Amino acid sequence: MNEQQKPGSHTETIHLPAPTAWPIVLAFGSTLLFAGLVTSPWISVLGGILMVCGAVGWFRLVLPHEVHEDIPVVVEHIPIETTRREVERIVIPEGDRAHLPVETYPIISGIKGGLAGGVAMIPPALLYGLIAQHSIWYPVNLLGGAGVANWRNPTTADIAAFHWQGLLVANVIHWTACVLVGLLYGAMLPMLPRRPILLGGVIAPVLWTGMLHSVMGVVNPVLDEHIAWGWFLISQVCFGVVAGVVVARQERIRTTQSLPFLMRMGIETPGLVQEHKEDDRK
């Protein structure tokens, strides 16, 4: 069991370098050489002499042959064993962790989902404008308000009126944001362990609405006063569910994750690439 006790493979003595005082002499000499700079030149001279002695002594040790001493070997049987014989392996259930997806959605599916979600957001937003403020332009101007020049603390009536700059800016912001979030969904959904629609469609919008709700009071208190958070949440969930469903219905494509690392790096090394078994050992 212990390969160190192979018969015939040991000798009775082992050559080891012999103890020597020359290194300490040389080291002490070097230190004195430097110490002379802050004390007295004579210390440096002494250090130099010691260094020469040390160096000569050291050279004579290794030239022409290194000096050895023979150490007698006491061969003992060293048992290498453990009381913990049992080996347990950690079993990782498939799908127990988020992992880099082997399959993912094509990029176009994210864009599609984002656009579809963007369309789905519009009805609840406009509905809110109609019901609460009797104007479909109210939510548009809330989003695109930055585009309307010279707005300083607008009145509610102001916001409810039609402004073409507001519509333009609102559209740009709306569709850019929708496409970006859609792309994010396309990348993320395959990595969510289960129920991607629930997670991505409902829980994520609720989370970011909550986050916006908590920070908007600090970031832009004026805007915060005008937002009806219940309606906001409804339109966000609409977006999430529609975008999630659209993305999830697309066909998946294989990612490079299933290839070995070296091939992904573009290194062609036939023979070097071998399957490494991934396992946790205890």
Partner 1 sequence: MNAIPLVATSPEQEWHLPYKGRIGMYGLIIAESAIFTIFVIAYIYYIGKSLYGPTPQQVLDVPIVNTICLLSSSITIFLSERAIERNNLKTFGLWWAATIALGAIFLIGTGIEWHKLIYHDGLTISTNLFGTTFYSLVGLHATHVVVGLIMLTIVLLFTLTGHVKHEHSERVQVLALYWHFVDAVWVVVFTVVYIVGR
Partner 2 sequence: MADQTLPIHGALDLTPPREREHTLLETLHSWVTTVDHKKLGLMYMMMSIFFLLVGGAEAIFIRIQLAVPNNHFVSPQTFNRLFTMHGTTMVFLVGMPLVFAWANYIVPLQIGARDMAFPRLNAFSFWLTLFGGLFLYYSFIGGPGLYGTGSAPDVTWWAYAPLTLKAFSPGHATDYWALALIVTGFGTIGGGINIIATVISMRCKGMTLMRMPLFSWVMFVDGAFVLIVITPLTASQVMLLIDRYLGGHFFDTQAGGSATVWMHFFWIFGHPEVYVLVFPAFAIASEVIQVFSRKALFGYPAMVAAIIGIAFVSVSVWAHHMFTIGMTSAGNAFFVLSTELVGIPTGIKIFNWLATMWGGKIRFATPMLFAIAFLFQFLCAGLTGIMLSIAPWNWQLHGSYFVIAHFHYILVGAIVFMVFSGIYYWFPKATGRMMSETLGKWHFWLFFIGFHLTFDTMHFVGFEGMPRWIYTYPADRGWQNINLVVSIGGLIQGIAVLIFAYNLISSLFKGKIAGNDPWDAWTLEWATTSPPPVYNFATDPVVRSWRPLWDLKHPENPDWKYD
Among partner 2, partner 1, none, the one that 17 touches (CB under a kind-dependent 5 to 8 A) is partner 2
Instruction: Kindly state the helix (H) or strand (E) to which residue 181 belongs, with its residue range.
Output: helix 164-188
CB nearer to partner 2: give 78 or 149.
78
Residue 168 CA to residue 145 CA, distance in Å, equals: 10
Give CA 219 to chain center in angstroms.
Answer: 29
Query: In the numeric block, which tokens belong to residue 226?
Result: 């005008």
Q: Which of 7, 19, 64, 270 binds partner 1 (CB under 8 A)?
A: 64
Output 44 or 165, the one with its CB closest to partner 1.
Answer: 44
Binding test (CB under 8 A) with partner 1, winner from 63, 74, 78, 219? 63
Position 78 contacts partner 1 (CB under 8 A): no
Q: Which residues lie near partner 2 (CB under 8 A)?
A: 1-6, 9-10, 14, 16-24, 26-28, 30-31, 34-35, 37-39, 58, 61-62, 71, 73-85, 87, 90, 276-277, 279-282
Reported as type and span, the H/E element at residue 35 is helix 22-35
Among partner 2, partner 1, none, the one that 63 touches (CB under a kind-dependent 5 to 8 A) is: partner 1
The encoded tokens of residue 151 equal 């707005």
Q: Which is nearer to partner 2, 251 or 275 (CB)?
A: 275
Distance CA 239, CA 209 (A): 12
Q: Write down the least CB distance from residue 72 to partner 2, Å.
A: 10
Contact flags string 22-61 toward partner 1, x per CB under 8 A? -------------------------------------x--
Integer Cα distance of 110 and 250 in angstroms = 9
Distances (CA, A) of 264 to 75, 176, 231: 51, 32, 46
Minimum gap (Å) between residue 7 Cβ and partner 2:
10
Q: Which does 59 bind (CB under 5 to 8 A by kind): partner 1, partner 2, none?
A: partner 1
Q: Where are the beta strands (DSSP E) in 133-270?
A: 253-254
Least spacing, CB of residue 144 vs partner 1, in Å: 55
Three-state DSSP class for residue 267 = coil
Place of tokens 């001493």: 69
Q: Are 121 and 140 in contact (CB under 8 A)?
A: no
**In terms of CB distance, is 60 or 195 closer to partner 1?**
60
Pick from 252, 233, 230, 253: nearest CA to 241: 233
Question: Please, what is the minimum distance in Å from the beta carbon of residue 6 to partner 2?
Answer: 7
What residues make contact with partner 1 under the rule CB under 8 A?
59, 63-64
